[in-house]
Each structure stands twice: as structure tokens, then as C-alpha cells.
Amino acid sequence: MAKQQSFHQIQKSMDAYGGDLRKKAKNRGPRPLVFRSGSMHITLRSTKATGINSFQNSSKRNKVKSFVYSFSAKKGVKILSFANVGNHLHLHVRLHNSHLYKAWIRGLSSGLAMISMGLQGLHHLKHKKQKFWDQRPFSRIIQSFRHFMNTKSYLEVNVLEGMGMPRGEAELLIYGSRRFLKSG
């Protein structure tokens, strides 16, 4: 007879959704969301957002940032931190209710695609039957203070990487300094 899973085991398996996880429709299920008391880490990735279409392109960097913050505020989503790495974006957000999430993520993803590619570029992709976003948005529920701090550090590394610093140096700067302070 199979042993029944505890609630905590089930909860851990459901704290992340999207990206490479649960690609097949039969394995998907509902996206876990958390409101008011918790926060979420969301990643949007596009291989089409490179070169002149990059989110980090000098003509688009400020547009992307201001759009993310203004659109999120309009939809009632609080951005706790944001990292633009060029071909993908990391957002640490706090949602206020489930009804706003769908409208927010649809509007955010379509607006970002428009900023990156422009109307002509999106029509060109549609004509070639390609999509701008590689996969569904990846989301993970932040479950504890430790998880919150790890996510904060991870986004700080991505901010530095987006500014051109090699990932190894960014990790040493962020994680190395914190490890040094903990051991001292």
C-alpha cells in the first residue's frame, strides 16, 4: 500500500510553475499564487530579445523599467525588486488578489513584447508562426524569510549581470560578501 504524502510534501511540489516545469497540459494544473502575506518570484524569458531587440538595449532599458513599474502599479501588483538581464526579466512581486494576476501577466508580457520587437516585428513573428516568449512565465512562491533573502540576493546578482558584470564576479560580490559577514 502506497504511503500518503504529507501536506508539506504536496505544498513543496506545487510552489513553482511554468518555464520548463509542467510543459505537458496533462501535468499542469493550476498555477499556485500567494496574496498579501507572501510574495512571488516571476521570470519572463525570450530568445528573441537579443541584440537590437534586447530589453537591455540602450533605447529600451528605461522604457522596460518604467513600463513594468507603472503597469504593475495600475493593476495593483507591488514590485519588490526587478532585474533586467537582456533576454529575460526577473520580478519579485506581491499580489493583492487572484483576479488581477491574469490581467497583469497578460498585459505585462504583451507590453514587453511590443517594447522589444515593435508592432512590425510581432507581425513578422506571427506570420512565421513563432512566439516571442520561449515558455510560460516561471513563478515560484517565496515561502520563508530565508527564501526571501535568497531571492533578493539572486535578483541582485542578475541586476549586476544585466549591467555587464560577469556572473561569477557578481556572485562573488553578492554571495561572497554575505558569507564573509556570516563567518566573522
Residues 171 and 151: their CA atoms lie apart, in Å, by: 13
Consecutive 10-residue averages of pLDDT for the chain (184 residues): 38 51 54 70 90 89 94 92 91 84 89 88 84 85 84 88 86 72 48
User: Phi and psi dihedrals of 133, rounded to 5?
Assistant: -85, 140
Q: Contact, 36 vs 94, CB < 8 A? A: yes
10 Å Cβ neighbour count for 27? 8
Domain membership flag for residue 63? yes
Domain that holds residue 39: 32-142
Number of domains in the chain: 1
pLDDT computed for residue 3 by the predictor: 45
pLDDT computed for residue 28 by the predictor: 55
Residues 36 and 96: their CA atoms lie apart, in Å, by: 5
Domain membership flag for residue 166? no
CA 84 to chain centre: 10
Q: Contact, 46 vs 32, CB < 8 A? A: no
Domain membership flag for residue 176? no
10 Å Cβ neighbour count for 102? 11
pLDDT computed for residue 173 by the predictor: 86
pLDDT computed for residue 79 by the predictor: 93
Written as one letter, the residue type at 10 is: I
Which CATH number goes with the domain that contains 61?
3.30.70.1290
Residues 127 and 64: their CA atoms lie apart, in Å, by: 25
Q: Contact, 18 vs 136, CB < 8 A? A: yes
